[in-house]
Amino acid sequence: MPVRNESRHLEAAVRRVLDQECPGPLEVIIAVGPSEDDTRGIAERLAAEDARVRLVDNPTGRTPAGLNLAIAAARHDIVVRVDGHGELGDGYIATAVETLRRTGAANVGGIMDAQGDTPFEEAVAVAYTSRLGLGGSTFHLRTSAEGPADTVFLGSFRKQALEAVGGYDESLHRAQDWELNYRLRQAGEVVWFTPAMRVTYRPRSTVRALAKQFYDTGKWRREVVRRHPDTLNARYLAPPLAVLAVLGGLAVGGHGSYHKVGWMKLGWLAPLGYLAGVFAGAAALRRELPWQVRVRLPLIFVTMHMCWGLGFLVGLGETSAR
């Protein structure tokens, strides 16, 4: 479990691991990065209270480095990745072990069950689990069927398979999960999804935090595509194309309005059409949602699409991963 600035959710995440029924010995290894809150103090208290909890230092604070440090310290053959924002569902580890043995997969994972506490967080959670929000990734949709997958949320691994492909790429500050699963599949291993495994995920709580998350993710997803061009698909291109259409439409429409050029005013159709699609999509979600949640959905969708797409278009530039 790599953690940094996770004082709000860390204890609940660790307790959910310790409460799991496991078909063997269990240890929780927390890779603690430099934090601006009481994350380290909480982690040290949890380790003092339960001998199964161990701490390792993660000086960079970056997720892939913390994961590799924790994996290196692990003493058992199966490694279950846990997130400081997440809480494992009942039977998660037992199901992971059984599925690894039954399928022979190198990595198995399940549903990312996003749940919020505030109306904004609940709206983000709804967007995460809708096709309009994150494009229908298998692990976001509760209706997905069990079987081989390109990637899974978090993941439970055979440690030997992880080590054989070199673990997580520490030069990727984000999108390292997807890239690792790509290398596992390229090595002939199987990545397996099962809806029987479920993790409660706590989404970002402000527009600013959500925008930064998606902008950074878009930039690093572009880096993965740069390194592995064969991974590019239509789902990745949709947000950057939407950004180009909206910005292009605004530029053409605004120029036409200023110079009173009639046909150029048609450029306004792109941003207006996009917004109409977002509002229609939000209204069409067939879920019983409080109005406080539903009215926030258009803002959430626009933030996700535009920030992810802009990040993808900008890429890492001169600050390319090292």
3-state secondary structure the chain: CEECCCCCCHHHHHHHHHCCCCCCCCCEEEEECCCCCCHHHHHHHHHHHCCCEEEEECCCCCHHHHHHHHHHHCCCCEEECCCCCEEECCCHHHHHHHHHHHHCCCEEEEEEEECCCCHHHHHHHHHHCCHHHHCCCHHHCCCCCCEECCCCCCCEEEHHHHHHCCCCCCCCCCCHHHHHHHHHHHCCCCEEEEEEEEEEECCCCCHHHHHHHHHHHHHHHHHHHHHCHHHCCHHHHHHHHHHHHHHHHHHHHHHHHHHCCCHHHHHHHHHHHHHHHHHHHHHHCCCCCCHHHHCCHHHHHHHHHHHHHHHHHHCCHHHCCC
Within a domain: residue 14? yes
Within a domain: residue 211? no
The count of domains in the chain is: 2
Question: How far, in Å, CA of 93 to CA of 19, rounded?
Answer: 10
pLDDT at residue number 129: 82
Within a domain: residue 293? yes
To the nearest whole percent, how much of the chain has pLDDT over 90? 62
Pair (18, 164) in one structural domain: yes
Pair (182, 238) in one structural domain: no
Within a domain: residue 56? yes
In tens, the pLDDT along 115-157 reads 888 999 999 999 988 878 765 555 555 556 889 998 899 999 9
Pair (161, 264) in one structural domain: no
Within a domain: residue 216? no
Pair (109, 242) in one structural domain: no
Pair (22, 83) in one structural domain: yes
Domain boundary among 136, 171, 205: 205
Question: How far, in Å, CA of 93 to CA of 79, rounded?
Answer: 10
Within a domain: residue 120? yes
pLDDT at residue number 24: 83
Q: Residues with Cβ < 8 Å from 124, sequence gap 6 or more?
A: 114, 116, 203, 204, 210, 300
Q: Identify the CATH number of the domain in which residue 26 sits.
A: 3.90.550.10
pTM: 0.82
Pair (199, 238) in one structural domain: no
Within a domain: residue 224? no
Pair (279, 155) in one structural domain: no
Within a domain: residue 219? no
**pLDDT below 70 — which residues of the chain?**
134-144, 255-265, 317-322
- Residue 163, both tokens: 């080590």
- Domain span including residue 292: 229-319
Pair (100, 233) in one structural domain: no
Pair (264, 185) in one structural domain: no
Pair (34, 134) in one structural domain: yes
pLDDT at residue number 72: 95
Pair (170, 240) in one structural domain: no
Sign of CA dihedral 179, 172, 72, 80: negative
Pair (239, 199) in one structural domain: no
